[in-house]
A and B are shown apart, each in its own frame.
Chain A
Amino acid sequence: MQAEDVARLSAASLNAHRGRTGLILFAMTIAVASVVMLTALGEGARRFVTGEFAALGTHLLFVLPGRTETTGGPPPMLGETPEDLTLSDALALRRSHHVEAVAPIVVGSAPVTYRELEREASILGSTHALFEVRGLTMARGRFLVHGDPRRASPTCVLGEKVANELLRGRSPLGAWIRIGGYRCRVVGVLAAKGVSLGMDIADTVIVPVASAQSIFNTEGLFRVIVQARNRASIDDARTAILDILSERHGRADVTVLTQDAVLNTFDRILHALTLTVAGIAAVSLAVAGILIMNVMLVAVSQRTAEVGLLKALGARNRDVAAVFMAEAGLLALVGAALGLAVAGAVTWMLAQAVPQLPAGIPLWSAAAAVLIALGTGLTFGLLPARRAARLDPVRALAGR
């Protein structure tokens, strides 16, 4: 028998039993669609987080005070407490020619007051460099000016939400606000940029780093964001940072994280999550497979006389099996195609409804779903096909 003829015979018999065919297709469609959609969601989450990191700016390094690596040695003795990372340390990093920009960061939370209105907001002390490093954009006014970062200046930049809620429609530019005991003039409002690693930039007030140090009465920096000259110089910059700070502190007591390392970790975790979720959804594929098997078994018993006839006409056992296997395979393939279409449509609608979540169907998941569907169909088609092939022709012709 030629493959083309097997396919045509199977398609014709599927077409002749529309109710049964429709039922199986429905199950297969749901199964494949759920696998693909869940993967698309997982993939969307992954892309979301990756996107957030990219929004941080490009080729960045984060310098944190203290060593977080495990050394495997005995616990540190007294006096091993890491030294604070100071503003001078941060400024010293500019010496390396691998470093493009350095943004020292001090964060904290303090009540922000404008006339009789007061609200709690995140306070972020930094320099003009932050603007570029974080890829910020202004809605109105300007950012912190260039100048000696060691000097406090009574200016501040508001996040959009803080500006709206504190000033209630009044023009924020030029307004004087209080942060704790510190007075400053609003020089600009940031454009909305979304959530960035848990820090809502819209709910933040940015002040010069020296001002923040005096507000929170601290010498130490929360961290330093360093922008390398380009992607290729990230490793050199990392070495330079460690060298400079070791020299200044007398020992290596800082941790340097590269953006890539952090990104890769998140990427791996979310990829694993996506696979897990897809695996759970794959259970529904198995259920669809069992349905295929049951319905095919019924089909075999309904078409006993036909199987007997095929045998009388000279069909070998494997020809009979091939016809039934082809039916199972066709059901699985068409079901998978429909499932992909449904998943595509739902994902598209989701993308329209929740544009923040960049859900998309990864090619590997579409391919895997189709292959698994086909595999399931054929596996569960095997038993009915063998049963049909083994029918005794005389009894089968009599319809028994």
Chain B
Amino acid sequence: MIELDQVYRVFRVGDARVHALEAIVLTIQRGEYLAIQGPSGSGKSTLLNVIGLLDRPSSGHYRLDGVDTTALDEDAQAGIRQRKIGFVFQAFHLIPRMTAAQNVELPLILAGEQPTARRSRVADSLAALGLDDRADHRPDQLSGGQRQRVAIARAMVTGPEIILADEPTGNLDRASGRDVLTALEALNQKGITLLVVTHDSELAERARRRLQMVDGRIAADSSAAARAG
């Protein structure tokens, strides 16, 4: 369970203080499927980075499964990222000199897993995304949609609780974008919490819960609206 309580994230740009996040109060239950929408600079990515422990709130508290993460040091946060969180980026962020399988294996290597155990998990993960026959291809030998699916395989290989996807379809055409989203939704159906940042309303419509962000604030939350209505 993700609980954000009065979270602020303030950047200093020259003399000005920019509120990327302002007084965010947000609770996300386990297994939810949430789309975060909003114009550029509205703070959607910052929100995702804070939830993914890549960024720290300037003030406020963030509890993940009851643990106040704001009090943890960098190593402890890295440990949580490793066990509980998978990232999918707009730019894929695959390492170009490594094959698909090696890219997927990377989180397991960082977790210090044994090579034999790694191999079967990598194979399972690639198979789940229909990439069995692409295991030995390097990223430059794959299409955009395939690359993003490799990235999803990498995000899920450690068996995380949460997948954070920042504009996962932003660099893809509509058809492969839909494939990628379907793959992510399949993970959500297995109980993984899914947060997708997008400015594509059509894709956002597919999420059960939608947040609208404006100027670092949550302008609309479909679940709150449903409750209120």
Contact = CB atoms under 8 A, between A and B. Distances in A.
Interface stretch (A79-87, A168-176, A314-322): A314-322
Interface residues of B, number: 26
A2 B115 CA distance: 10
Nearest to B94: A309
B74 A317 contact: yes
Contact of B55 (A2, A305, A394): A394
Contacts of A305: 93
B54 A393 contact: yes
Interface stretch (B26-34, B78-86, B196-204, B215-223): B78-86
Interface in A233-276: none
A313 B49 contact: no
Contact of A1 (B55, B109, B158): B109
Given A306-B95, A397-B93, A312 B109 contact: no
A15 B98 CA distance: 11
B106 interface: yes
B78 A314 contact: yes
Interface string A1-39: 110010001001101100000000000000000000000
Interface residues of A, number: 25
Contacts of A15: 97
A98 interface: no
A291 B89 CA distance: 35
Interface string A142-170: 00000000000000000000000000000
B52 interface: yes
A312 B110 contact: no
A1 B108 CA distance: 9
A310 interface: yes
A128 B109 CA distance: 80
Which of the listed residues A310, A317, A393 has the most CB atoms from chain B within 10 Å of its own CB? A393
Given A315-B110, A317-B74, A394-B55, A309 B81 contact: no
A223 interface: no
A314 B79 contact: yes
B109 to A, nearest CB: 5
Contact of A12 (B83, B97, B107): B97
Contacts of A46: none
B95 A313 contact: no
Contacts of B95: 306, 309
Contacts, number: 64
A394 B54 contact: yes
B97 A316 contact: no
Contacts of A5: 109
A373 to B, nearest CB: 26
A353 B97 CA distance: 47
Contacts of B62: none
B89 A316 contact: no
Nearest to B87: A312
Contacts of B54: 311-312, 393-394, 397
Contact of A316 (B74, B83, B106, B107): B74
B74 A314 contact: no
B112 interface: yes
A9 B97 CA distance: 11
A16 B110 contact: no
A79 to B, nearest CB: 87
B15 interface: no
B210 to A, nearest CB: 24
The 9 closest A-B pairs by CB, nearest first: A314-B82, A16-B97, A316-B78, A314-B81, A393-B54, A313-B107, A5-B109, A309-B93, A316-B75
Given A305-B93, A311-B78, 17 more contacts: A1-B109, A1-B110, A1-B112, A2-B112, A15-B97, A16-B97, A309-B95, A311-B54, A313-B87, A314-B107, A314-B158, A315-B110, A316-B75, A317-B78, A393-B55, A394-B54, A397-B54
17 contacts: A1-B110, A13-B97, A15-B97, A305-B93, A309-B93, A313-B82, A313-B107, A314-B78, A314-B82, A314-B111, A315-B110, A316-B74, A317-B75, A317-B78, A318-B75, A319-B78, A393-B55
Interface of B: 49, 52, 54-55, 74-75, 78-79, 81-83, 85, 87, 89, 93, 95, 97-98, 106-107, 109-112, 154, 158
